[in-house]
Structure 1
């Protein structure tokens, strides 16, 4: 007779992943109590491990995820870890482990119930977009395992696509229907909802820059008369995130090093067809450049490098200008063959004086020379001409 470790059910059908650890302890402890007394000094050896029920995933792949090994002492913790690890693959609906006495030790039998294969994939409720277009937006296909995390990820992909097209209230529910023990049909049930447009964008907390200046750098626009031509006025979550970064960059180009821009607050109209966005800004103080130093340079003199950069003492701190200056210096080194040259800007901010001292720390690296250039494919023109 065998002792059975109750299954950890991690599936769309069962759902209670870890509720039977107590049962694991009970069954294993019960088995160990039945072992002769002289074995109490050490756990019995695992003599053999059998793997059953797997068809889609190989036994060698399963074994590679397990801690339990033939020849090692039996360990309750190893079996528990095996079950956790094997569930994490996403291929199994059910795993149970049976323990039997075997040749003075124990035999471990891992019995698997695999998740079904998705044999059909469809959409329902989609009116604005054709099914073939939606299938291009997802990564799951017919023939895939009905893995809950994979399905959830693709639900989010569908939602993200709809939201990028202005359907902010879209809902997507995956419906899995068992066709047989080994096959399932997956349907994404879509509730598109109304297309949501942006009625108003409100900017709060801005003093140094006007609303007009801020909105100018934003890709997100309010709905207006000719939006049907430009495609503007649609709420797009990713575009909003990028706009927050653009506003921050705008302020930092004006010397506001510590500006903070909030994620937009969203309010829906009563009919849920219009959005009101509010973006809050905490500008902080404006900083000027204090000292500008260069260190680590041997190939070029300080004056040669200073001639190429725009940042200078007394000017408004501008992060985008600083980036451009760094690129110029790297290009100078690249032209001399220093392909691995790098410039690290060290910024020392004096909050009382409202100045930022900048040190451009240069790592020149070694010089690289071109050894040989091979030209291929030239049939009519000689190499020396090229």
Structure 2
């Protein structure tokens, strides 16, 4: 019998060696996992050859979960093979009671909820994520330390000590080298580092009011990719854009991009292959590169792949140079000649081929929710447009998340809250959706002018009911609402500052609008409103119709970044050489008249918030 122990020794990277009798990889006859009921995943399998390296990886993987205080591997060998036993000692499970920040003024939002199981590994991940958020905000020297403090019976507090350090901002962005484009075009391509002027200056007296973006390496890299995409979309396929000088003085950074535009290319032929029939895209006049048409084609191909349930979609651009035009007309300099299509003779040209690849179609396996404590799983599932067994349509998934965000007692749900597990063998996609509930809500309103004109002040608070019942009678989907309204006596209503007031109270049961249960939700039950109850029901459903019309039932998908490569053929050995050249970023277009749709939706929200005080006042 021989064994290996992993515990505190593993932290220092040392362990006892496992010595087996000399043999050529004996087979594992039996494999046992003791000491836990958790579903653990290991590479070692019974019936496969004994591999100590694989066992090492399994032990490190189990230790990295943070679930165990000790891991012991025992093995013995007989004529039939090796008997292997993993003995695990579970770490006591602790559940989060509260999160405490030091200093207490911190307003960061860790992705944890009360009652969630916590362990040291999870605490380190939370600290790393909070530090990443601070770095994105310009605090490059930020430090976050997480410590779990056990309190009470199987409960723990998470102490987060935050040191932000100095805040860094971008003072100026410069460009050096033969850019080939105007500085205004280059500045317009920047999104994460370009300073923005909010108010104009007064000559030398005042330089104006500027908004300086936070400085971080990730933000600079993001704008670097946008500049490379700008040059590629403009036909500068040989352009070189790199980060040059970086100067930081008193927390203000000056970023310099080294730019060499290279030659401007014309395109003879553009085609898209790999997703159905080959599509040809006609170049613009004079052979200019039409990046907009190509992006439309690529985005449309991705949408078609999503509808077919294929989550794996990739694209690659390949450029093939063509011989330059070099004829000479008598008496005219070559640099002054033009081809019949008005291109300069000798200008470089190329063919572009977009190669698309789509993976197999997947169907929805399981849909699981986490983070909800009061609302039932059935209520959340009714809001989804996807069901188990349906094709994994990511557009319908985004619409489903938008519908979940419209539920009145949930915080907004985005694609970052969805964890997708793909099972390639079964072509199944298992979804785990994380939600966060709101425990209650309150609002305070008051007049902007005389009370007789703009209405009296008031206060309203709503508390979620306990998780009892199901269907339309599920109490956790209701708010117990209490409203208090102060109004002057009728004979003093014309005075703006009446000294004596009377109070009106309202106690009601409210069920906010629930997608999937439209006619069974969106109402306020109280006899004090009279006909206003029916009017409020109609207003709520009209507001939902306005939001759907405004496009708020679907989240805008992210764009795609397509790498571009040169493809050349050497004549001697006829080998194909492919080298990197640039990138093309394609973003989903914004819906037409989006500003008007948003304004209409916001106006409807204001009308809905005004409705209850107006009903009480009358």
Q: TM-score, normalised by structure 2?
A: 0.40
Judged with a 3 Å threshold, the aligned counterparts in structure 2 of structure 1 residues 225 and 327 are, in CA distance, closer, same or farther, namely closer
Aligned to 1:6: 5
Judged with a 3 Å threshold, the aligned counterparts in structure 2 of structure 1 residues 346 and 212 are, in CA distance, closer, same or farther, namely closer
Please state how far the C-alpha of 1:192 moved relative to its aligned partner.
1.0
1:114 aligns with 2:86: no
Structure 2 counterparts to residues 43-122 of structure 1, below 5 A: 49=32, 51-52=34-35, 54=36, 57-58=37-38, 61-62=39-40, 65=42, 67=44, 69=46, 75=50, 77=52, 80=56, 82-87=58-63, 89-98=65-74, 109-120=85-96, 122=99
Deviates more, 1:259-268 or 1:206-215: 259-268
Task: Select 1:311's aligned residue among 260, 284, 287.
Answer: 284
Please state how far the C-alpha of 1:321 moved relative to its aligned partner.
4.7
Aligned to 1:384: none
What is the distance in 2 between the residues matched to 1:224 and 1:347? 40
- Residues 133-163 of structure 1, C-alpha deviation per residue, up to 9 Å, x if partnerless? x23x435765334252x44443332123223
Deviates more, 1:153-162 or 1:180-189: 180-189
Aligned to 1:204: 176
CA contact (8 A) 2:149 2:158 kept: yes
CA contact (8 A) 2:269 2:350 kept: no
1:146 aligns with 2:119: yes
Corresponding residue pairs, total: 311
What is the distance in 1 between the residues matched to 2:88 and 2:288? 67
Aligned to 1:191: 163
1:249 aligns with 2:229: yes
CA contact (8 A) 2:100 2:157 kept: no
Please state how far the C-alpha of 1:261 moved relative to its aligned partner.
2.2
Q: 5+ residue gaps in structure 2?
A: 201-207, 305-314, 325-346, 357-516, 520-618
Task: Select 1:172's aligned residue among 144, 148, 154.
Answer: 144
Aligned to 2:360: none
Higher RCO structure, 1 or 2 (CA under 8 Å, sep 6+): 1
Please state how far the C-alpha of 1:85 moved relative to its aligned partner.
4.9
Judged with a 3 Å threshold, the aligned counterparts in structure 2 of structure 1 residues 262 and 211 are, in CA distance, closer, same or farther, namely same
CA contact (8 A) 1:123 1:190 kept: no
Q: 5+ residue gaps in structure 1?
A: 34-39, 335-342, 363-376, 380-386
Judged with a 3 Å threshold, the aligned counterparts in structure 2 of structure 1 residues 160 and 360 are, in CA distance, closer, same or farther, namely closer
Judged with a 3 Å threshold, the aligned counterparts in structure 2 of structure 1 residues 286 and 113 are, in CA distance, closer, same or farther, namely same
Judged with a 3 Å threshold, the aligned counterparts in structure 2 of structure 1 residues 357 and 92 are, in CA distance, closer, same or farther, namely same
What is the distance in 2 between the residues matched to 1:68 and 1:345? 42
Aligned to 2:15: 20
Aligned to 2:247: 267
What is the distance in 1 between the residues matched to 2:245 and 2:114? 37
What is the distance in 1 between the residues matched to 2:318 and 2:152? 64
Please state how far the C-alpha of 1:250 moved relative to its aligned partner.
2.2
Judged with a 3 Å threshold, the aligned counterparts in structure 2 of structure 1 residues 317 and 129 are, in CA distance, closer, same or farther, namely same
CA contact (8 A) 1:116 1:181 kept: no
- Name the structure where strand makes up a greater proportion of residues: 2
- Residues 361-381 of structure 1, C-alpha deviation per residue, up to 9 Å, x if partnerless? 99xxxxxxxxxxxxxx9x9xx
1:234 aligns with 2:214: yes
CA contact (8 A) 1:140 1:151 kept: no
- Once superposed, what is the RMSD of the aligned Cα atoms? 5.0
Aligned to 1:276: 254
Structure 2 counterparts to residues 327-366 of structure 1, below 5 A: 347-350=319-322, 354-358=348-352
